[in-house]
C-alpha cells in the first residue's frame, strides 16, 4: 500500500489518496471521525482546536460501506480557511496588506529557516504552512483506515503518553494490562496517560508552562498486540519492519528519537539480561518469557507485542520567543509569534498510534495475498496455525 497527503495548515483542505487496500473491507467516515476527534483533544492544545471540528469525507474507493479495491481518497476540510482566503489564496494577488504581512523572522527549532533557504521563499509562511503539524490530521485519517484493517485481522493497537516535561508514568501501574484495557484508561484521561496518578501533575505543568509563554515535550508509547511472528524481513535493510516503524515515528512533526522494548537501557545491561528466552506450549506455540526487545528480532516480529516509544521535543513556536535574525535586514530580532499549542504530546500519541498502524497493516498486506479481505483473513489464519506448530 502507499499513500500521499496534500494540504496547507490554513488552506482549504487536507487530502490523502491511499492505494492498495483490499476490497470488501468495511469502512465508514464514522470510524475515521472517532480518531480525528481523539487527535484534537488532550490538555495543552491551543485556540485552533476550538475552531476546527475535524471530520473526513470519503470521496472514492468505497461503495455502500465497503472498499472496492480502487484508490480511497479522503478529504478533511479546514474550517479556519474562511479566515485565510486572502493570505492563503490560490490565485495571484496584488500588493495588498496580505503581501506585506510576510514572515521574515524564522523560529528556532522549526522548519522556517532551512525550508526558506531550500525553496527560495522570502515569506516564511510558504514553509510553515506545510511543515505545520496540521498535516497529521489526514495522516490520522489514513491510519484509521489501516486500523480498520488491523481490527479485521485481530490486531489491536494503542498509544499512551509516558512522560511530559520530566513527569513520568509508573509502568507498573499498567503492567499486565491488555491494549484494550489500556485504551479504556487512556480514553478517559486528560493527557492520554495510562497511569492516572500522574495526570494532575502533568496538566498542572502544562498550565504553568503555558502561563510562562513556553512549551514542553514528552514521550509516547505504542503497543501492538496480535501480530504473528515473522512479519517483516531480515534479508535486506529496507524490508526490516522495525526500521519502517522507527521511520514512521520519526516522521511525526517534532519527534527526535525512537526506542523499542527496554530501548536505550540495553546499553547498560549484559546480554543475559536483555534477550528474551524462548518457550513452546501446546495451543499457544512459541512465546517469550520477557519482551525486552519490544517484539522484534532481525527486523521481524517475534509474536510478542510490539512496544515502541518516541520522544517529542517541545513545540518551537513560543509566545516568549527566542533570538532569531530577520532574513531581510539580517538584524537580530525575536522570532515570529504564531498561535500555537503549549503541549501537543497527548495529540502526538494519537498520531503515533496511527502512523504505526499504517506500517503494521502494510507489512501484513505485503506478506499475504491481500486483494480481498476474506482471503487475507484466511491466509493469516493458516499462517498462524503453521507458526504455532513450526
d(CA 21, CA 188): 32
Q: Which residues pair with 296 in a beta bridge?
A: 301
313 assigned to a ligand binding site: yes
Our CB check for ligand EPS shows the closer of 128 and 198 to be 128
Among 105, 134, 183, 244, binds ligand EPS (CB under 6 A): 134
Among 338, 360, 364, 365, binds ligand EPS (CB under 6 A): 338
Residue among 278, 276, 256, 279 nearest 266 (CA)? 276
Among 48, 183, 210, 244, binds ligand EPS (CB under 6 A): 48
C-alpha cell at 78: 479546514
C-alpha cell at 237: 535493510
| 35 touching ligand EPS, by CB under 6 A | no
Burial of 294-328, coded b for 16+ CB within 10 Å and e otherwise, reads: bbbbebbbbbbbbbbbbbbebbbbbbebeebeebe
Our CB check for ligand EPS shows the closer of 227 and 350 to be 350
131 assigned to a ligand binding site: yes
Which element (helix H / strand E) includes 38?
helix 29-40
Shortest spacing between CB 343 and ligand EPS, in angstroms: 12
315 assigned to a ligand binding site: yes
Opening angle at CA 267, ends 266 and 270, nearest 5 = 70
Footprint on residues 227-256 left by ligand EPS (CB under 6 A): none
| 339 touching ligand EPS, by CB under 6 A | yes
Which element (helix H / strand E) includes 355?
helix 345-367
Residue among 360, 117, 102, 342 nearest 215 (CA)? 342
| 189 touching ligand EPS, by CB under 6 A | no
Q: Which residues contact 163 (CB under 8 A, 6 or more apart)?
A: 169, 218, 219
Shortest spacing between CB 121 and ligand EPS, in angstroms: 16
C-alpha cell at 319: 509566545
| 132 touching ligand EPS, by CB under 6 A | yes
| 367 touching ligand EPS, by CB under 6 A | no
Footprint on residues 56-115 left by ligand EPS (CB under 6 A): 80
Footprint on residues 307-336 left by ligand EPS (CB under 6 A): 317
Among 340, 342, 349, 362, binds ligand EPS (CB under 6 A): 340
Helices 373-389 and 136-152: crossing angle in degrees, nearest 10, is 60
Binding site: what residues are annotated? 39, 45, 130-132, 253-254, 298, 313-317, 339
Binding site for NADP(+): what residues are annotated? 39, 45
Binding site for FMN: what residues are annotated? 130-132, 253-254, 298, 313-317, 339
Residues in touch with ligand EPS (CB under 6 A): 9, 46, 48, 52, 80, 132-134, 137, 317, 338-341
Amino acid at each position: 500500500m502507499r499513500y500521499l497527503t496534500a494540504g496547507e495548515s490554513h488552506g482549504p483542505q487536507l487530502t490523502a489518496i491511499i492505494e492498495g487496500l483490499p476490497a470488501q473491507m468495511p469502512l465508514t467516515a464514522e470510524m475515521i471521525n472517532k480518531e480525528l476527534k481523539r487527535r484534537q483533544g488532550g490538555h495543552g492544545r491551543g485556540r485552533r482546536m476550538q475552531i476546527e471540528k475535524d471530520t473526513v469525507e470519503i470521496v472514492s474507493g468505497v461503495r455502500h460501506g465497503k472498499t472496492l479495491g480502487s484508490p480511497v481518497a479522503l478529504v478533511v476540510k479546514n474550517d479556519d480557511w474562511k479566515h485565510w482566503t486572502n493570505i492563503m489564496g490560490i490565485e495571484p494577488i496584488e500588493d495588498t496588506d496580505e503581501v506585506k504581512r510576510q514572515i521574515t523572522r524564522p523560529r528556532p527549532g522549526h522548519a522556517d529557516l532551512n525550508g526558506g533557504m531550500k525553496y527560495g521563499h522570502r515569506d516564511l509562511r510558504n514553509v510553515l504552512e506545510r511543515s505545520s503539524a496540521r498535516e497529521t490530521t489526514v495522516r490520522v485519517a489514513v491510519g484509521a483506515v489501516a486500523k480498520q484493517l488491523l481490527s479485521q485481522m485481530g490486531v489491536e493497537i494503542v498509544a499512551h503518553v509516558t512522560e511530559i516535561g520530566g513527569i513520568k508514568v509508573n509502568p507498573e501501574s499498567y503492567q499486565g494490562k491488555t491494549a484494550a484495557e489500556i485504551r479504556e484508561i487512556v480514553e478517559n484521561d486528560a493527557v492520554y496517560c495510562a497511569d492516572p496518578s500522574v495526570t494532575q501533575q502533568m496538566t498542572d505543568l502544562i498550565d504553568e508552562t503555558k502561563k510562562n509563554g513556553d512549551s514542553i515535550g514528552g514521550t509516547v508509547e505504542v503497543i501492538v498486540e496480535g501480530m504473528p511472528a515473522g512479519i517483516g524481513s531480515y534479508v535486506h535493510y529496507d524490508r526490516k519492519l522495525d526500521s519502517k516503524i522507527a521511520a514512521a515515528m520519526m516522521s511525526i512533526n517534532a519527534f527526535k528519537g525512537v526506542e523499542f522494548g527496554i530501548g536505550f537501557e540495553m546499553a547498560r545491561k549484559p546480554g543475559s539480561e536483555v534477550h528474551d528466552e524462548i518457550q513452546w506450549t501446546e495451543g499457544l506455540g512459541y512465546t517469550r518469557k520477557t519482551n525486552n526487545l519490544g517484539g522484534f528480532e532481525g527486523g521481524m516480529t517475534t509474536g510478542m507485542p510490539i512496544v515502541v516509544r518516541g520522544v517529542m521535543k517541545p513545540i518551537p513556536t513560543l509566545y516568549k520567543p527566542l533570538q532569531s535574525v530577520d532574513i531581510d535586514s539580517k538584524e537580530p530580532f525575536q522570532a515570529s509569534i504564531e498561535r500555537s499549542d503549549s503541549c501537543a504530546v497527548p495529540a502526538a500519541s494519537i498520531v503515533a498510534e496511527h502512523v504505526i498502524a499504517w506500517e503494521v497493516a502494510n507489512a501484513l498486506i505485503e506478506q499475504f495475498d491481500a486483494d480481498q479481505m476474506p482471503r487475507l483473513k484466511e491466509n493469516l489464519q493458516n499462517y498462524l496455525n503453521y507458526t504455532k506448530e513450526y
